[in-house]
Amino acid sequence: MNETQEALRKPVTVGGYFKNIWDSLFTTIAGLKITGGYFFQKPITVQYPDERLPIPERYRGIHYLEQDKCIECYACARACPVDCIDMEAVRHGKELEWVKFTIDYQKCMFCELCVYPCPKQCIHQGQEFAFVVEDRNELKHDLLSYQGMSRDARIRKKEAEAKKAAKEAAKKAKAEAAAKAKAEEEKNAPGEESSEDA
């Protein structure tokens, strides 16, 4: 027999009996003291999603893009260690016609390495964190607020095209005038020689 079995076989004395009662009461009161301390405090439970705890200012949440500032330099895509940023745009001079700017949140690890290399400071991580979806394909999130060109960019593009067309028309008119002058000069030049010969 081991010591535990021997201790169980020993008869309990009256002092031991009351000592066991005291130990039980003491440990119960010690545990309830901690519970009682919390019982009289204001509850800290937040009824999410109706209520939210304050989020720190530098929290790394879901990305957002200031599309008008972006120059499609691919600095953020190159800095991404998991290659989850995909962007595509068509350049019209200095203006961009956006096709897509997506982040695949199945891969993204919210490291914020895409934010710092951006020369125009146009990609940021916001404070939104709830991105619950039923289909994994929805985790490929498009950051564009509009596709194509912005209204201002379209106006600037039309103005640039009009200036370019006017410049080309002026250049063409100048070339035609020079050719016409040269043709008249050549036409007059043989007539002058014949009058001198006579």
User: pLDDT for 137-177, tens place per residue?
Assistant: 889 989 998 887 777 777 887 888 888 888 888 888 888 88
Q: Which of 138, 140, 130, 144 is nearest to 61 (CA)?
A: 130
CATH of 63-151, one of 2.60.120.260, 3.30.70.3270, 3.40.50.300, 3.30.460.10: 3.30.70.3270
How many CA atoms does the CB half-sphere of 62 hold within 13 Å?
14
Contact 60/109 with Cβ under 8 angstroms? no
User: pLDDT for 101-131, tens place per residue?
Assistant: 999 999 999 999 999 999 999 999 998 888 8
Domain boundaries, given as residue ranges, for the chain: 3-39, 63-151
Which position has the token pair 């007539």?
A: 191
d(CA 101, CA 186): 61
pLDDT band for 198, please (50, 70, 90 cuts): very low
Q: Which of 107, 112, 113, 105 is nearest to 142 (CA)?
A: 105
User: pLDDT for 83-99, tens place per residue?
Assistant: 999 999 998 888 888 89
pTM, 2 dp: 0.59
d(CA 64, CA 62): 7
d(CA 56, CA 61): 10
